[in-house]
Structure 1
Amino acid sequence: MQKINITISGGLGRMGSLLIQKVRKDKILNLSSVTEQRELKKNGILFEKNSSQSLKKTNVIIDFTRPNCTSQILKLATKLKKKVIIGTTGFNKKQQAEINKASKKIAILQSGNMSLGVNLMQYLSGILSKKILKEYSMEIHDSHHKMKIDYPSGTALMLGNAVAKGKGKSLDQVKGNIFLNKKGKGKANKINFFIKRKGKIPGTHSVIFQTAKETIELKHTAKSRDLFADGAISAAKWLAKKKPGLYNMHDVLKIR
């Protein structure tokens, strides 16, 4: 069986380091290259800058970095016809438009969260939202470690979009208040976000529908980053066979 050549973008990061370990142990994958902001050699691994040279032999690039780095990767990947897994979050509208445009030429899988559990939770959130009466308030709770920069997180936005879609709306139409590390009163008939960025929390998310009489809650707690790395590895194997287009983990998991 011919192996799938993988590039890890952001190899010195926590997810990048974990992905390097998992790719090197996988019988189907081959670690073709690792990229970073600067060139260096560490633990026998050569870290290169993003370039046509460093990406030329790869089949799939796995990117967990920052939006500006992802934009750089996309330009090179489009030029070289390489496939890209995007686990980076925090894109603005212009950057997201770049991703959408690139997907016309190359296969891209983008997800704010690569875990099976979160994607099932997103799917169920949409179903619940569609069935629940408008008298219920809607909340997304998003807790992460203090080093996470963007908020709401990519996962929280995934869940918010699912709830909004269940109501036949866009998230922009029904987004309420966003509270960071504090309590507050949400807007009626809106999706309100309650954010925590403290300590070493690996990632906990809840979707809550409630009235004065009852509370319905879907909750996911990540206990290890292996969860997200394993999802990205599965996604890379799946994407390697796909034609140009913009995909997500629902496509991989077949939970449409």
Structure 2
Amino acid sequence: MKKINLAISGCLGRMGKQLIKSSKSNNNFKLVALTESKPLNKKIAGIKLSQNTDQTFENTDVIIDFTVPKCTLEILKIASKLKKKVVIGTTGFSQKEENSIKKYSKQISILKAGNMSLGVNLLMYLTEIASKSLNDEYLSKIFEAHHKHKKDYPSGTALMLGKGIANGKDKKFYSVIGKKFLNKKNFPYGEKINFNSIRKGEVVGEHEVLFSSGKEIIKLNHEAFDRALYSDGALSAAIWLRTKKPGLYSMRDLLNFK
């Protein structure tokens, strides 16, 4: 297979650095562009850092983006113009921004995931099944923990799991979002889905979905130990996306979960 010309946006971030490391040891890729929001006279892996421009992405096949929503939409605008494929690992989008991503996906191939891990995407699949199987006596809530540097909460993965609960009940996700807590030791179940986010130390990622009837509690959880888990998943997404027609895809499509 011809090597994929890869661009990584947010290359100085935690995931950006990990993606550079993982892509250099993956023979499917040729790293051709690295971008950051501010111009820096610096080279990484022999590539001069640049900003998100038409010229920067001109020779790329796939752009992997782990930045912030504003930057992601800027990249999608350019990618749409140049007909480049984009893997989005950025989280924290508003509903309006989500709608913008859907519009861009009519022109280019986009794979967007709140988490690139196989295990987490399996967890979402199981969450949907549990939510669909349990009756309305069972209330749900979601716990997540990440490193102290992570700014957004709940995490994109926690929100993704919340969508799994909503999908299982055939409800719109934004109509079932409950309270969002930060660094609470305990937090309640509710008629809607409550979230609790812990930010501490260098935790890579912990997620737990809980269902309770008052008589029993069902727990589904996942814990990540190595950040390479996410970069390897993003690179797998880039390989898979290379041959896809315009559309908005997820890791669930890649993994062929029904």
1: CA distance between counterparts of 2:189 and 2:122? 27
Match of 1:5 in 2: 5
Match of 1:250 in 2: 252
Task: Give aligned-pair identity as a percent.
Answer: 53
**How far apart are residue 187 of structure 1 and its match?**
5.3
Match of 1:19 in 2: 19
**How far apart are residue 184 of structure 1 and its match?**
5.6
TM-score, L = length of structure 1: 0.96
Pair 1:39-2:40 in alignment: yes
- 188 and 16 in structure 1: CA distance in 2 versus 1, 3 angstrom threshold: closer
Match of 1:116 in 2: 118
Match of 1:170 in 2: 172
Name the SS of the counterpart of 1:142 in structure 2. Answer: strand
For residues 157-179 of structure 1, the C-alpha deviation after alignment (integer angstroms, 9 at most, x for no partner) is 00000101111111222222221
RMSD between aligned residues: 1.3
Name the SS of the counterpart of 1:129 in structure 2. Answer: helix
Does the Cα contact within 8 Å between 2:148 and 2:199 map onto a contact in 1? yes
For residues 124-154 of structure 1, the C-alpha deviation after alignment (integer angstroms, 9 at most, x for no partner) is 1000001112222211001111211111110
Does the Cα contact within 8 Å between 2:154 and 2:197 map onto a contact in 1? yes
**How far apart are residue 15 of structure 1 and its match?**
0.8
Match of 2:238 in 1: 236
2:77 to 71, 75, 81: 75
Match of 1:213 in 2: 215
Alignment of 1:50-65 (within 5 A): 50-65=52-67
**How far apart are residue 213 of structure 1 and its match?**
2.7
Alignment of 1:92-241 (within 5 A): 92-183=94-185, 186=188, 188-241=190-243
Name the SS of the counterpart of 2:226 in structure 1. Answer: coil
**How far apart are residue 244 of structure 1 and its match?**
0.3
Q: Which runs of 5+ in 1 are unaligned?
A: none
2: CA distance between counterparts of 1:104 and 1:97? 11
156-165 or 209-218: which moved more? 209-218
